A = this chain, B = another copy of it.
């Protein structure tokens, strides 16, 4: 078998990604062994790229933080960073992450920390699910400050559509796999968000907090450009 017999030889960093899209590649850690993920990260650092690793196990977080002094790991979000794409003082605009319940926090934090990494100022507002909708109304003035809103919710996922009917910013909906039974691993929330009757909602994959953050940050940056 040509092209490297060993399993760690395959990590061709997409180093031109920033030129094409404005942002470097992120590392999806779920299907990779610790060794594979580490190899990718080392290579990216050698090229001077900041690293954002999603769905990272605690063991990987530990290993990377030991090796890189500027490594950081958030166990709730299972998010790993080495370096930062943009410094805190250079962040601009505002992305607001709104989460329905406490159980949605892992994905909400994944979204919030990712958006910060990419260069947005971020506010995280949790526990404002539609079952007690006054809590959402209490925070509406804050939410209306955002240039892009990320709505994180499992179960019936109604939060996204309700917010989109109340604000002027685009809503990026991140369904979560929170729930059981007819939640079917986030399918109920996903379908609910896709069929929200309010326009101004677009949806990312179930539990994809990073994807929501990436899209919201793109929108926020463009709207904050001047």
Residues of A bordering B, CB below 8 Å: 1-4, 7, 10-12, 14, 16-17, 20-23, 25-26, 28, 30-32, 36, 40, 55, 76, 99-105, 109, 112-113, 116, 122-135, 147, 154-158, 161-162, 164-170, 172-173, 175, 177-208, 210-212, 214-215, 218-219, 222-223, 225-226
Please indicate the chain B residues that have their CB under 8 angstroms from the CB of A207 in the complex: 180-181
How near does chain B come to A13, taking the closest CB pair, in angstroms?
8
Closest to A21 in B: B168
Do the beta carbons of A162 and B158 come within 8 Å of each other?
yes
A100 to B189, CA, bound (A): 18
Q: How many copies does the complex hold?
A: 8
Within the complex, what minimum Cβ distance (angstroms) separates A21 from chain B? Answer: 6
**Cα–Cα distance between A226 and B226 once the two chains are bound (Å):** 7
Q: Which residues of B contact A219 (CB under 8 A)?
A: 170, 219, 222-223
- Report Cα–Cα, A104/B207, bound state, in Å: 20
Within the complex, which residue of B3, B165, B204 is in contact with A133, where a contact is CB–CB below 8 Å?
Answer: B165
- Asked if residues A195 and B181 are in contact (CB atoms below 8 Å), the reply is yes
In the complex, how many angstroms separate the beta carbon of A120 from the nearest chain B beta carbon?
Answer: 10
A127, chain B: closest CB distance, angstroms: 4
Give Cα A219–Cα B32 distance, bound, in whole angstroms.
Answer: 31
Cβ of A131 and Cβ of B203 under 8 Å apart?
no
Identify the interface centre among A1, A32, A158: most chain B CB within 10 Å of its CB: A158
Q: Contacting A184 at CB < 8 Å: which of B165, B173, B191? A: B191
